[in-house]
Chain A
């Protein structure tokens, strides 16, 4: 935080930095940020809730982001999301009970020629079918289970 001068225009970069370290914006950190910069908590929360990048709750170990871009939509992204929801037994936006996966939608990953696409953490999976998507999750579970 010390890199920044505490100007209001630095608020978004500061929040991005906090989220990069904690994975989300913890309440106590927001209070501390307010105390240090003099920016009101309400103002910080206003900005944090406006932008979809910011989260106020911790995430699962892995984040699955199903692309809902136009190219993905016309190539069936909804059925991919349905299949993942069903496989993980969570709705979009939810986190599995074991804390392994968070399932999210994303407006567009920009890999339109690979549609439909999903990203699990930093890995992109393209040309999906509902079946393929389910298998990717099963394989990940199998791999994680085996490594324990």
Chain B
């Protein structure tokens, strides 16, 4: 019997290490009862900590929300007694479970090995199919054949822009040079996106294999993985994986005895969103401020250290090994005509079942959010879904039947993006969301282009003014005009897409902007300057809970008598409303 603990970042954040300690203790008390193993994210982030019990007859039982106490219970009943603890089971391969819906409709291509193998064991990765593609490419195919295979698979860049990967490799293969580089962009900076992190933590060998194949295809003997420093666990596991691959002869000189040499290095980012942009990323590896450069020359001709370079996203590279191993046709059979294959999404926000969801392209947003995600946790209607982070936009609920492919999403004003999918319900204010993204972008603009540097600041000032109840007639039009100018006059993708969250919310939720500006009301009750908490005297029983909880001391009244809020002291934190058991506190 095997006990497998999911120890991705969210598993650890939910107390996974304490669960592991508990199992270690239990196994010390009962030596030989089971084998303890760890794996990456199993995908069900909403049920962390996940623990799988694998029995020798192949029965798999996954437990959710496991704590140290529950670990003991599970150990005693299931591991020692052979009786699963039904109430904590979230999935099994022998009985139906309500959480099965999370996996129905998913197709795990990139995430195939995540949550199954021990990411720190190259043997487990190989046994599950890693490096098959690299071996096939290096030993039986020419670089041109590899590029052709990737072209035929229809794989497009999973960082968000969707440029055909095979085409990109072709451009990088073309120039003659004494040195070329292939770079993995693992600077996953979109707030609310954690797909790449989960792949790096759960199956680092898939990314290494993709780089190896890509390096062979374009003729690069040096590779870099640029990882954000905020992902210490991913960095640790990558380092282990690289070392193991070197020991096996999959990296280094004379890879797999083919005569091809490939050396891989890790570069840690230092916290700059703009470094997700190719040319800024290159500048950062070179030790410079991460500021984008003019293109052309494109990195394929003059990139890192002035040499031809190719940059691919984590997920793109993780697709490559399997495409080569299983053939382009199998991959191209998934998805739509122009958007082939699968895409991993980080489903989060007000959704019931949040986590990692990988679906064939062409699946509708509704199927992902309601089918896999189960709708909102609160049961309140969905208002919008935000895709593509600060470069993307908000898609309103009535467009949820939009299929997930590059072109259809672009038509809504949002973008495919790198895979962040944030669900919002009616309690979320769209003006506030726009202001939120612009705050982020404005502080992350590198400052090179005037419109991006100053234009985003002006837009933020206008949005802040609107959320404070000081909006004026003409503000919406001004935002639209500025947005168009910034898009047109910025050098890189950051500036060119920066206004998207504002423009899409104006497009679909103009009435909310108008309510803020004309009626000085926030329909979602989010903007503090526009709301008022009040105690309804007829419902208040004078229990004094709110008065004791209020951090500002704004509530007064004697026991058993209706209380009142001193509006001049109220900081609008909402604690009173959430602590009132009689529904006596209203917000307007």
Residues facing A in B105-136 (CB within 8 A) are none
Q: Is A21 an interface residue (CB 8 A)?
A: no
Residues of A within 8 A of B9 (CB): 110-111
- The reply to whether B420 and A12 contact each other, CB–CB distance below 8 Å, is no
- The reply to whether B354 and A131 contact each other, CB–CB distance below 8 Å, is no
Given known contacts A83-B551, A107-B191, A75 and B349 CB-to-CB distance under 8 angstroms: yes
- The reply to whether B192 and A130 contact each other, CB–CB distance below 8 Å, is no
Cα distance A99–B278 when bound, in Å?
40
- The reply to whether A107 and B273 contact each other, CB–CB distance below 8 Å, is yes
Residues of A within 8 A of B12 (CB): 124
- The reply to whether B575 and A71 contact each other, CB–CB distance below 8 Å, is no
Residues of A within 8 A of B348 (CB): 70-71, 112-113, 115
Select which of A68, A69, A112 is within 8 A of B354 by beta carbon.
A112
Residues of B within 8 A of A106 (CB): 230
Chain-A contact segment, one of B22-30, B204-212, B264-272, B474-482:
B264-272
Q: Is B197 an interface residue (CB 8 A)?
A: yes
- The reply to whether B287 and A114 contact each other, CB–CB distance below 8 Å, is no
- The reply to whether A112 and B45 contact each other, CB–CB distance below 8 Å, is yes
Residues of B within 8 A of A51 (CB): 269-272, 290
Q: Is A96 an interface residue (CB 8 A)?
A: no
A45 to chain B, nearest CB (A): 10
Residues of A within 8 A of B197 (CB): 110
Cα distance A7–B305 when bound, in Å?
12
Q: Is B391 an interface residue (CB 8 A)?
A: no
Residues of A within 8 A of B428 (CB): 74
Scoring B residues 424 to 449 as 1 if CB is less than 8 Å from chain A, else 0, what string do you get?
A: 10001000010011001000001000
Scoring A residues 51 to 84 as 1 if CB is less than 8 Å from chain B, else 0, what string do you get?
A: 1111000000000000011110111000100110
B255 to chain A, nearest CB (A): 25
A contacts with B: majority SS: helix
Scoring B residues 9 to 31 as 1 if CB is less than 8 Å from chain A, else 0, what string do you get?
A: 11011100000000000000000
- The reply to whether A70 and B420 contact each other, CB–CB distance below 8 Å, is yes
Residues of B within 8 A of A68 (CB): 191, 440
Which among A12, A74, A82 has the highest number of chain B CB atoms within 10 Å?
Answer: A74
- The reply to whether B14 and A114 contact each other, CB–CB distance below 8 Å, is yes
Q: Is A47 an interface residue (CB 8 A)?
A: yes
Which among B188, B229, B231, B422 has the highest number of chain A CB atoms within 10 Å?
Answer: B422
Scoring A residues 38 to 54 as 1 if CB is less than 8 Å from chain B, else 0, what string do you get?
A: 00000000110011111
- The reply to whether B575 and A112 contact each other, CB–CB distance below 8 Å, is no
Cα distance A36–B522 when bound, in Å?
58
Residues facing A in B318-353 (CB within 8 A) are 346, 348-350
Scoring A residues 12 to 37 as 1 if CB is less than 8 Å from chain B, else 0, what string do you get?
A: 11011000000000000000000000
Scoring B residues 485 to 522 as 1 if CB is less than 8 Å from chain A, else 0, what string do you get?
A: 00000000000000000000000000000000000000
Which among B13, B273, B386, B575 has the highest number of chain A CB atoms within 10 Å?
Answer: B13
Residues facing A in B504-554 (CB within 8 A) are 549, 551
Residues facing B in A95-125 (CB within 8 A) are 106-115, 117, 124
Residues facing B in A124-142 (CB within 8 A) are 124, 126, 129-131, 134
Residues of A within 8 A of B193 (CB): 108, 110
Residues of B within 8 A of A86 (CB): 551, 571
Residues facing A in B220-250 (CB within 8 A) are 229-231
Name A54's closest neighbour in chain B (CB-CB): B270
Q: Is B194 an interface residue (CB 8 A)?
A: yes
- The reply to whether A109 and B46 contact each other, CB–CB distance below 8 Å, is no
Select which of B10, B284, B349, B446 is within 8 A of A12 by beta carbon.
B284
Q: In the A-B complex, list the 3 residue pairs whose CB atoms are closest, starting with the nearest.
A: A70-B192, A113-B45, A112-B348
User: What are 29 inter-chain pairs, A to B, with CB distance below 8 A?
Assistant: A9-B305, A12-B287, A15-B270, A46-B289, A50-B272, A51-B290, A53-B270, A69-B191, A70-B191, A70-B420, A70-B437, A71-B191, A73-B191, A73-B433, A74-B422, A79-B574, A82-B573, A83-B551, A109-B230, A110-B10, A110-B194, A112-B45, A112-B348, A112-B354, A113-B348, A113-B354, A115-B349, A129-B575, A130-B575
Known pairs A12-B270, A86-B571. 7 more at Cβ < 8 A? Answer: A7-B287, A11-B287, A12-B284, A70-B348, A70-B422, A75-B350, A111-B45
